[in-house]
Amino acid sequence: MRSGLTALGIVVGVACVVTMVGIGQGSKGAIQRNISSLGSNFLVVYPGFATSGGARLFTAQSTLTEDDVAAMREECPSVAFVTPDVRTAAQLVEGDSNWGTRVEGVGVDWPCVRCWDTRAGAFFGEPEVRSAARVCLLGATVAEELFGSTPPVGETIRIKNIPFRVIGVLDAKGGNLMGQDQDDVVVAPYTTVMRLLKRTIKIDAVLASAASPEAIGQAQGEIEALLRQRHRISDGQDSDFLIRSQQEIAQVAEETSGTLSMLLASLAAIALLVGGVGIANVMLVSVTERIREIGLRLAVGARRRDILAQFLLEALGLSVAGGAVGVVVGLFASRILAAAAGWPIVFAPASVGHAFGIAVGIGLVFGLYPAWKASRFRPIEALRYE
């Protein structure tokens, strides 16, 4: 019972290590998938930023126009695709069904920027954008909520009480980095959204795609130089916009994931330390209880290294048993956690081997002193011990 309770600390520690690595690998993979879902070589320009008290603040006043987007397309050679982005919230009505969602007004390059295909119908073209046509495409979630299993292409829905013809349904994308459903969206020509739904002449953001991953930095520099020139921002003045790249977004997300992994690693290290102290404690008690046995072995010819090996192997046995059970418990607990909380968890054989190796190392380190102490007894004194 005492040995089992001692090994429990190792079990908990190893289980924490296995779970931590699984969550870390799973979250890293989920982040990469979410970053990829943003688009290809993605860049986003946010307008309406100003400096106040040394801090960059969002002023909620857009400074970007359609002409800025056209200039980016023509004068930035590292930019492959660019589209305006105008957003508003709206209530959709179709027959007896209604659904509240966001409406994105975009240009014809939007599918290329976001790498987002249609699963039914087709995307709108330049004629629809120029004429501010009342057409739209539904995200997978919106299509299911409004139409269920009925094909929605060709049907008419009302957005803010204005009729729109559904010309397509977008492929399912899933959640984004913030956990929001990317498929809960309606996409329409940006001119239509600006004139009919939002009644504005400004755009909310510009989405762009660099020509290649290596050209992201160059494209970002070209866009910044162009907009500063067009907005008449002199040297030394702060830009009235903010550019974020796919790489920067990925870096922030990975830093967040790294912080979570460090927290879990700290908890696992504490649990392993407690388990190691428990092994040292039980081995010291065991040495004290078996002094006469140690003396008897020494008296009949056992060498000090034999005594050292005996107790060191006992400590190692505790840690190996605890490590093996901990790996099983960690895998089992991770599966439950993944199912209950919906966390992405990925296991690598190397991580399980590392966790087991750590348990073995804990047994060796914390069992060394009790084993050394047992090997230092003198036979006569050990045999006389009461």
- Are 270 and 343 contained in the same domain? yes
> What confidence score (pLDDT) does residue 137 get?
95
**Model confidence pLDDT, tens digit, residues 135-154:** 999 999 999 999 988 889 99
Residue 245 counted as domain residue: no
pLDDT bucket at 191, cuts 50 / 70 / 90: very high
- Are 25 and 148 contained in the same domain? no
Range of the domain at 326: 2-33+251-384
- Are 99 and 172 contained in the same domain? yes
Buried b (16+ CB within 10 A) or exposed e, 16-51: bbbbbbbbbbbbbebbeebbebbbbbbbbbbbbbee
Q: What percent of the chain has pLDDT over 70?
A: 83
> What confidence score (pLDDT) does residue 249 get?
62
pLDDT bucket at 29, cuts 50 / 70 / 90: low
Q: What end-to-end distance do the CA atoms of the chain give, in Å? A: 25
pLDDT of 38 > 90? The answer is no
**Model confidence pLDDT, tens digit, residues 243-295:** 887 666 666 666 666 676 677 677 777 777 777 787 788 888 878 877 788 78
> What confidence score (pLDDT) does residue 259 get?
73
- Are 76 and 220 contained in the same domain? yes
Radius of gyration of the chain (CA): 32
Number of domains in the chain: 2
Q: Which residue has the higher pLDDT, 311 or 346?
A: 311
| Helical packing angle, 246-289 and 349-375, nearest 10° | 30
> What confidence score (pLDDT) does residue 18 get?
79
- Are 105 and 146 contained in the same domain? yes
Residue 44 counted as domain residue: no
Residue 41 counted as domain residue: no
State the average pLDDT over residues 148-176: 89
Residue 219 counted as domain residue: yes
- Are 69 and 201 contained in the same domain? yes
> What confidence score (pLDDT) does residue 62 get?
72
- Looking at every residue in the chain, the average pLDDT score rounds to 81
Q: Are 159 and 90 a contacting pair, CB within 8 Å?
A: yes
pLDDT bucket at 372, cuts 50 / 70 / 90: confident
Among 230, 265, 296, identify where a domain stops: 230
- Are 75 and 218 contained in the same domain? yes
Residue 38 counted as domain residue: no
Q: How far is CA 254 from the centre of its chain?
A: 7
- Are 175 and 257 contained in the same domain? no
Residue 355 counted as domain residue: yes
> What confidence score (pLDDT) does residue 71 get?
92
pLDDT of 52 > 60? The answer is no
State the average pLDDT over residues 199-220: 87
**Model confidence pLDDT, tens digit, residues 60-108:** 567 888 899 999 999 999 999 999 999 999 999 988 888 999 999 999 9
* The pair of three-digit structure tokens given for residue 70, joined into one six-digit string: 């056209």
